[in-house]
Chains A and B, each alone.
Chain A
Amino acid sequence: MSEAVVVVEELRKEFSRDRPVVSGLSFALNRGEALGLLGPNGAGKTTVVHLLLGLTTPTSGRIAIFGLPMPQKRIRVLQRVNFASAYALLPANLTVRENLMVFARLYEVARPKEKIARLLAELEIAHLVDQVAGRLSAGEATRVSLCKALLNNPELLLLDEPTAGLDPDIADKVRRLLRRLQSERGIAVLYTSHNMRDIEAVCDRVLFLRRGRLLAEGSPVEILRNFRCDDLETLFIQLSREGSGSLPVANEGGPEELSPRLPGTGGG
C-alpha cells in the first residue's frame, strides 16, 4: 500500500455564502506520485492548492499532510513542502542569488551557498546567479522559481500552472525537468494546469474539477478510456462545457459515480 502524503476529505470552501468554490472534494496523493488537478478557469484548482498551503482556511472538511492537520500544523508541514507558481515569481529587484539566499534561510537550509550553486547547475541556470530577477525571460524565471521550490528538498511540491506564459519549447523543457526531478527524488507533486500536454507529460493521475466538484479521476489513459475520448483536449472541452453527464462512459456506473480513490484503492 502506498503511503499517503496528502489526504483531503470532504473539502469545502466558499468565499461568499452558499457559493462554494470547492465542494465535497476528497482525494489522496501518495509518496512519489504526480497528481494533476485539471479543469477550466474557475474550477477551483488554485483554491485547492492555496487550501493545502494554509494560505486560505477551509469552510469545512479536513486536510492532512504527512498526517498533520492543516492549517493547524502549518509551520511543521511547510518545512517539508514547497511551492512554485507562474503567478508568484521572485522579487524582480533582487538578483537570483539574493532571492534564493533569503528563501534558503527561511527554510533553514544547511550550507545554503553550496545548495544554491548545486541546484542552479542542475537546472542549467548557473550563469544567471548574479542576474537581477526582473531581467530574466519567462522560462528563466520559471526555472529560478523551481530552484527556490527545491531548496528544502521538499517531499511534496505544489505547482500552480508552472508553464503558464511559456513558449512550447520552454514549456517542454520545464515538463521534462519536472518529470526527471520527480522520478529521481521521489517527490509527491500536485500539479494544476489547464494545459493537456502538461498533464499528460507530468502526471500519473488526474483529478478533473469543474465548479469546485470532482468530475472524474484516473490516469490520463484510464480517463480517456472511461469517457471514450481520443485525447484529453477534446475531453477537457466537453467536460468543461457540459459536465460528465453528457459523455459516453465505458465503465460501470457513470462518471458522476466515480468516487475519488483513497490510498490503497489503486489509481496510479
Chain B
Amino acid sequence: MNLRRIWALVLRYNYVYRRSAIRLLEVFFWPAIDLLVWGFLTLYLEQPGRELPSGVAFLVGAVIFWDILYRSQQGITLSFLEDVWSRNLLNLFTAPVRVTEFVGATCVVGILKTLVVGLYLTALAFFLYRFNLLAVGPTLFPLFVNLLLTGWALGIATTALLLRWGQAAEGIAWAVPFAIQPFSAVFYPVSALPSWLQPVAWSIPATHVFEGMRLALRGGFAWNHLVYATLLNLVYLVLAGSLFALLFAAAREKGLLVKIGTQ
C-alpha cells in the first residue's frame, strides 16, 4: 500500500467534485431527502388521535405508486442517457429525426416500463402482503395515468437539463423525482407537512394522486384530486416541453449537442 498513490487518487476524486457543483450537490441532496421523508413520516405517525388508513396498506400502495412515477421519469431520462453513453446521439440527430419524435419515443418507453413495473409490483404485493392495488377501485386507471404524466414532465425537464449540463449532470437523472418526494405526500398526507409547505405540496400533481389513492383505499372517490392532478400535469408538461425546446436550441447554438454526443 502506497499512501502517496492513495492520496493521488483522493486528489483526483476531489478535483471531480470541485469542478462539478452538481456532483457536490448530490453529496448533500440524498441525505437531506432521506431525512425529510422519514422525518415527516415520523411526525405523521406520532400525531395523537390519527387514524391510519387500512393498516400498512397505505404504505405498500404508496411504494407501488411512487415506483410508477419514478419509472415513468426514468423511462425518458435513461433512454436519453443510453444514447449518450453509447455515443449515439450524433448518429440519431444526423438522421431525419424530429426532436418531438425523439421525446415521443422516450415517452413510449416510459409507458412500457411503467406498465411492466406496475403489474410486477401489484402481483408481488398481493402474494407477499395480501395487498390488492385493484382495491383502489375505478380511480386506479386515471390515477395511474396522472402519475405517468407527472413522470413524463419530470423526465422531459431532466433530459433538458442533461442536454445543457451534459454527463456531469447525470446524477440529476435519479435525483429529480426525489426532489419532489418529501412534498408530494407519498408516505404521509399533506396535513403532516408544516402549514407553510402545504401550498407547495398542493402545486405538485403527484400530491393529488397520493391523496386520492389514500382516499380511495378508505373507500372514497377522489374526483377533485383527479381534476387538479390532470390540470397541473398539463401545465407542467407544457412547461417541461418549453424548457426542453429552449435548452435544445441553446445546445445547438453552443455546440453542446455534439459535445454530449461524443464526450
Contacts and interface: CB of A to CB of B under 8 A. Distances in A.
Nearest to A107: B95
B12 interface: no
Interface in A96-145: 103, 106-107
A91 B88 contact: yes
Interface in A57-103: 57, 71, 74-76, 78-79, 81-83, 85, 87-93, 103
B88 A90 contact: yes
B242 interface: no
A74 B252 CA distance: 13
A55 B95 contact: no
A53 B257 CA distance: 12
A78 B95 contact: yes
Chain B binding surface SS class? helix
B262 A87 contact: yes
Interface string A189-218: 000000000000000000000000000000
B117 to A, nearest CB: 22
Nearest to A74: B96
B254 interface: yes
Interface of B: 82-83, 86-88, 90-98, 249, 252-255, 257-258, 261-262
A79 B255 contact: no
A89 B87 contact: yes
B86 A107 contact: no
Given A103-B91, A106-B96, A88 B262 contact: yes
Interface residues of A, number: 30
A57 B252 contact: yes
A148 interface: yes
Contacts of B261: 55, 88
Contact of A88 (B90, B98, B252, B255): B90
Contact of B255 (A50, A83, A92, A103): A50
Residue from A57, A76, A82, A158 with most neighbouring chain B CB atoms (10 Å): A57
A240 interface: no
Contacts of B96: 74-76, 78-79, 106-107
Given A78-B94, A83-B94, A107-B95, A55 B258 contact: yes
B91 A92 contact: no
B94 A56 contact: no
Residue from B82, B83, B86, B94 with most neighbouring chain A CB atoms (10 Å): B94
A68 to B, nearest CB: 12
Contacts of B249: 57
